[in-house]
Amino acid sequence: MVLKQDTARSPGHGEVPDAALPKIVYGRGSRLYDATGKDYIDGSGGPAVFCLGHAHPEVNEAIKQQLDRVAHGYRYNFTSDPLEELTEIVGRRCGPGLGHMIFTTGGSESVESALKVALHYHSANDEPSRRRFIARRRSWHGNTLGALSVSEFKERREPFEGALIPASHVSPANAYRPPAGVSPDRVAQFCADELEGEIVRLGARNVAGFIFEPVVGAAGGVVPAPEGYARLVREVCDRHGVLLIADEVMCGAGRCGSWRALEHDGVVPDVMAVAKGLAGGYVPLGATIYSDKVADLLTRKAGGPMTGHTFTGHTLACAAGVAVQRIIARDHLVERVARDGERLKARLTDRMGDLPALGDVRGRGFFIGLEFVADRATKEPFPAERALHLRIRARSLANGLICYPMGGNVDGVKGDTVILAPPYNATDAELEEIVEKLDRSVREALGDIFSTCMVLPGLANQT
Ligand SMILES: Cc1ncc(COP(=O)(O)O)c(C=O)c1O
């Protein structure tokens, strides 16, 4: 019997059939090689994971050494040097007030534990009625049932509707696509007011937490919240005793040019989820981090948060995390990302700005989103069945570029975005190669659309 590994579909396959994937054989730095010997520049670190590229000799050595000692000391039997050192490093990187954490094996588990920490906090605080979560539309928090319940990725939710936990969804804070009738400069205040309205509507004593991505990843095509938004929602939550939960699975661990994405906003959340970049994709690792306020109460009233798994604090994973985080600190890579992210964005705009289909280039650090539209002035997206993002993916793969195209950012079905999230240590020449190959792939994909006869006003000589 042949076992088939199905890969999840992204929205809007439309006219583009599933293509056979190349078979990965090895990687070196920012480059990956498939079984035919073809090489790819990794422009998105897979899904914003591989922050040090591939096969970094120091990380590999640390993993091998740990494996030769012991793979894992189960958490009810042992602590370990890697676990303690990574706890110390992450605590220091998070800054004052966020020194407590539970390690997990990935993003969904980190979000799941974040939700549970919030619920447990309220139970221990004698407010067991606080059960409800508020999240935002066009956000993704993970595939486990709790994380999926607060997510609003239409296609991924649909098969499970009816079994998901009730959650409210408020507007995304997206200045490029503001809520109807709201000017871009009013988005932050409007969204904060809407959140407060929802808390009041539900009754604050029923609301456990507000979860949001400080910079939305896959579901929005990299959408940083407008300036001031994070501070406003922090204040709203404080006014109503609601915990602020930052999902930094994709945008955190240095990706946006500060170790915590919310550092940029001067905001400290009550609970935070990180994953992807924490161990750089060398082994699965995530963490749920929570504040002293949450930790003190949970320790005093309940002896600690009630969550965790067999592989919580996995020793080998923590050793990988320590190696990755030491290199990032030693080589000043978060600072590098902060410095060169703006330059990368400017290069993309220079190179592709003549394309009428390029609606927006946005993001922070090495987390950059490009949104493509059928009409720049009205921001009308391409018809979903044209699946532009999938055509870009196909063309990128053919051209030897790994990027992260995604559909559905406008309404869950329509919308075409591409995420770039290169390794923090990619060379300037590699960044330039990413820009050049993306530019070529997008022009070819748009050419494919027009050659398959779509006629949209104003798009004639687009490529
Ligand atoms: C913001 C965010 N949260 C949670 C998750 C879920 O993480 P994982 O796929 O590692 O379970 C993701 C995954 O892309 C994500 O982008």
User: 374-401 pLDDT, tens per residue?
Assistant: 999 999 999 999 999 999 999 999 999 9
Q: Which stretch, 18-22, 285-289, 303-307, 409-413, has highest mean pLDDT?
A: 285-289
Ligand 1 centre distance from Cα of residue 140 (Å): 7
Instruction: Quote the distance between the C-alpha of residue 328 and its chain's center.
Output: 19
The structure's pTM equals: 0.95
Eight-class DSSP state of 226:
P
Looking at the CA of residue 142, tell me the nearest atom of ligand 1. 6
Q: Quick one: 455 exposed, middle or buried, by C-beta within 10 A (0-12, 13-18, 19+)?
A: exposed
What does the alpha-carbon distance between residue 353 and residue 360 come to, in Å, rounded to a whole number?
9
pLDDT over threshold 60, residue 213? yes
Q: What is the pLDDT of residues 415-431, one digit of tens each?
A: 999 999 999 999 999 99
Question: What are the φ and ψ backbone dihedral angles of 251, each rounded to 5 degrees?
Answer: -90, -5
pLDDT over threshold 80, residue 7? no
Looking at the CA of residue 219, tell me the nearest atom of ligand 1. 16
With a 6 Å cutoff on the Cβ, whether 249 touches ligand 1 is yes
With a 6 Å cutoff on the Cβ, whether 108 touches ligand 1 is yes
Report the pLDDT averaged over residues 201-222. 98
With the most atoms of ligand 1 within 8 angstroms of its CB, the residue from 103, 108, 153 to mutate is 108
- The predicted pLDDT at position 433 comes to 98
Eight-class DSSP state of 456:
-
Ligand 1 centre distance from Cα of residue 217 (Å): 9
Q: What is the pLDDT of residues 143-180, one digit of tens each?
A: 999 999 999 988 889 999 999 999 999 999 999 999 99
How are beta strands 132-136 and 416-420 bridged, if at all?
unpaired
Q: In the Cβ-directed half-sphere of 134, how many Cα atoms lie within 13 Å?
A: 29
With a 6 Å cutoff on the Cβ, whether 252 touches ligand 1 is no
Report the pLDDT averaged over residues 226-240. 98
User: Atom 8, ligand 1: which residue's CA is nearest?
Assistant: 107
Ligand 1 centre distance from Cα of residue 377 (Å): 32
* Contact by Cβ (8 Å): 251, 45: no
Looking at the CA of residue 284, tell me the nearest atom of ligand 1. 10
- The predicted pLDDT at position 422 comes to 98
Q: What is the pLDDT of residues 250-300, one digit of tens each?
A: 999 999 999 999 999 999 999 999 999 999 999 999 999 999 999 999 999
User: Atom 16, ligand 1: which residue's CA is nearest?
Assistant: 250
With a 6 Å cutoff on the Cβ, whether 368 touches ligand 1 is no
Q: What is the pLDDT of residues 89-129, one digit of tens each?
A: 999 999 999 989 999 999 999 999 999 999 999 999 999 99
- The predicted pLDDT at position 452 comes to 64
Band of the pLDDT at 305, cuts 50, 70, 90?
A: very high
User: Atom 9, ligand 1: which residue's CA is nearest?
Assistant: 107
pLDDT over threshold 50, residue 329? yes
The distance between the two most distant Cα atoms of the chain, rounded to a whole number of Å, is: 67
Tokens 């959140």 correspond to what residue?
195
How many degrees, rounded to 5, is the angle at CA 40 between CA 39 and CA 44? 160
What does the alpha-carbon distance between residue 43 and residue 37 come to, in Å, rounded to a whole number?
19
